[in-house]
Amino acid sequence: MSQEILLQARQVTRRFGGLVANREIDADIRRGEILGLIGPNGAGKSTFFNLIAGALPPSSGTLHFEGRDVTRLPATRRCALGIARTYQVPRSFDSMTVVENVMIGSFVRHRGTAAARHAALEMLDFTGLSRQANTLTHQLTPPEKRRLEVARALATGPKLLLLDEVLTGLTPSEARQGVELIRQVRDTGVTVVMVEHVMEVVMPLVDRAIVLNLGEVLAQGAPREVVRDPAVISAYLGDRHAA
């Protein structure tokens, strides 16, 4: 796997009044990897995720994407550069068809309607939603809506894909299918960062993990190393994992 740094965060801090949600985070995202962003509730995962995506600006610190300073760029500009995301609660246009929803993403790269539709259909095929292309989005099942989120994000042509709890709430069978889809995304050359709570699903999937706790980086490294870290066991995994 390439060790080239795709996105670099240095001393990234985000304050909400007197609350420090992220404190002086240093993190590198390497091109071609699947990176897990994990930690207990309130650890600052969602805030850091939003800082990478451009939904929030950092209070201090810097973010560089492919060597370019994107610290103050809005989400739309970052999307054009190659950073796409999904949402924890799927955000679809329920009065539109599935393919029309994905076309919204493909218009980032394609000006014409025909080209945007063709690209959208390719992403629906990739994510296993081809049969639902002309279905109204409100008729999709919850797992299908999560796949729609992934398809629309991929339609923007990302280099970095941010997945916000796309495996949460799925049955074991659905989760296995989701894991396989994420691996397929990485195999196309897209770097993946995923926020998840289900350690049993995430750790076998990711190449590296960053553990946040109380807004700070608690540990980072290979999954096998992280789950054995005493600080991670104490703060997140619980004493039952100590053995």
pLDDT band for 127, please (50, 70, 90 cuts): very high
∠ CA(189), CA(26), CA(2), 5° rounding? 25
Q: Flag whether pLDDT at 39 surpasses 70.
A: yes
Q: Which two tokens stand for residue 105?
A: 């993403």
pLDDT band for 3, please (50, 70, 90 cuts): confident
Averaged pLDDT, 194-215: 89
Q: Flag whether pLDDT at 238 surpasses 70.
A: no
Q: What's the mean per-residue pLDDT of the chain?
A: 92
pLDDT of residue 239: 55
